[in-house]
Amino acid sequence: MRGFRFRLQFVHAGTRTYTQVSQLSHSPDADTEAVVTALCVLACLLAPSLSSPEMCTQSRAAALMANVPRVDIDPAGVFKYVLIRVHSTEEGDDAEIDVVRGYGWAEFHADIYDKVSEELEKGGHLDCECIGGGRISHDPQAKKIHVYGYSIGFGRANHAVTTEKLKAQYPGYEVTWDNEGY
């Protein structure tokens, strides 16, 4: 986020107040956009001129999703991973994101999904769905990540989606995938 500048404004239109972001410098990366989105929602929620959070143009679920890391995996090793789709539970809000979670402590893919979904679903604004799993081999010394395999319980994740998310999180890495192996 270094070097990115933006201006946050409140725009009043009738009975609603909107937050508007004006970009003042370079194009933001995905993490920067998530932070800016979260700041906009926070500013809208905290604005003293607003009588209720419902007046904000972004749902609470969307604000929560803006702060969910898209990737969280162990720093090294070979481990199971799941691809989780996180949805809003709010009526009329079709916001969703996909997140990658992979950990060596998990005996089963469901162990990861159960822990992550429990954390994300607290408060009732978000709902999770496991859309598949597999394995990740993470070698930080060689700066390589390989995604492969499947989950017996959840099926094979779309490794292409997982790989794109990992590339965004680890830009200096060689990130590959295939459907071979378990």
Active-site choice (12, 26, 87, 109): 109
End-to-end CA distance of the chain: 38
Alpha-carbon dihedral 81, 111, 128, 20, rounded to 10 degrees = -60
Residues 82-93, buried b or exposed e (16+ Cβ, 10 A)?
Answer: bbbebbbeeeee
SS3 category, 152: coil
Q: Active-site residue 146, yes or no?
A: no
Q: Which amino acid is residue 59, in one-letter code?
A: S
| Contact between residue 64 and residue 121 where contact means Cβ atoms under 8 Å apart | no
List, by residue number, the catalytic residues.
109
